[in-house]
Amino acid sequence: MIRRNPLRQVIRMKRIAYFGGTFDPVHNGHLTIARSLVSLFAFDRFYFLPAFHAPHKPDRPPTSGYHRFAMLAIATHTDENIAVSTLELDKREKRYTIDTLAELHSLHPGSRVFFVMGADSWTDIRTWRNWENVLTAADIIVVTRPGYEISFDHVTDAARERIVDMRLTESVAMENGGRRIYITDAVRYDASATELRTDLSDGHLERAEDLPLEVAKYIEKYELYR
């Protein structure tokens, strides 16, 4: 019997990522982010986390969670490490990220949990409930987005101290010892769900290449965004 020397076993914590958003619909910007981050951070699992929105909200209600989930599932079905979480949709009420993050840690004990957001969400972070705690409740990854500057003036000194700015470097410098805020420009994909919805309702898709083909077919079949 071969005995392994326990000292030689490299134990690596699992790395799990969650990418929150409305995904109405999912587009190739979202997908490029997921695929690039899986290889950059060596994630064991990367989850899209579509948000539930109350149908009675005064602003434009998003497309049903069933459709948004289906489009995400179709778009990712061949990506081995990428899946869709129903955690927030299942709650049937609006969830704050701070509460979701607490739940994610109990779902993945012993794993390192990362929360992914785009540059526009980072700019608006102070509007999030309990935002200072959100930034310490998980490792955060901020992805650059064309048209949005990334600044650090709006966060606290304590948050700034935990920033790992990976822009202009080729490899990921994974830091141990405490949660970090990683800034990466590994993805620069100019696409927007709002623009896609506007184009679809006008009946002409200016940038059809921003939508995965199977998602475009689904939208057509179920007559969404008309």
Q: Smallest distance from the beta carbon of 3 to ligand ATP, in angstroms?
A: 48
Q: What is the side-by-side strand order in the sheet with 15-21? A: 82-84, 45-50, 15-21, 112-118, 139-143, 181-184, 163-165
Q: Binding to ligand ATP by residue 143, rule CB under 6 A?
A: yes
Query: Which of 17, 46, 97, 118 is the binder for ligand ATP (CB under 6 A)?
Result: 118
Q: Binding to ligand ATP by residue 82, rule CB under 6 A?
A: no
Q: Binding to ligand ATP by residue 120, rule CB under 6 A?
A: yes
Nearer to ligand ATP, 21 or 212 (CB): 21
Query: Which of 17, 87, 117, 181 is the binder for ligand ATP (CB under 6 A)?
Result: 117
Distinct helix (H) and strand (E) counts, the chain: 9, 7
Q: Smallest distance from the beta carbon of 26 to ligand ATP, in angstroms?
A: 8
Nearest alpha carbon to residue 33 among 97, 104, 115, 118: 118
User: What is d(CA 207, CA 210) in angstroms, rounded to the nearest whole number?
Assistant: 6
If one counts every other C-beta atom within 10 angstroms of the C-beta of residue 43, the result is: 20
Give the residue nearest to ligand ATP (CB): 118
Place of tokens 């982010």: 33
User: What is d(CA 106, CA 80) in angstroms, rounded to the nearest whole number?
Assistant: 24
86: tokens are 């129903």
DSSP 127: G
Query: Which of 192, 199, 205, 222 is the binder for ligand ATP (CB under 6 A)?
Result: 192
Binding mask 27-56 for ligand ATP (x = CB under 6 A): --xx--x-----------------------
Q: Smallest distance from the beta carbon of 125 to ligand ATP, in angstroms?
A: 10
Residue 189, phi then psi, degrees to nearest 5: -125, 115
Binding site for ligand ATP (CB under 6 A): 21-23, 29-30, 33, 117-118, 120-121, 143, 145, 189, 191-194
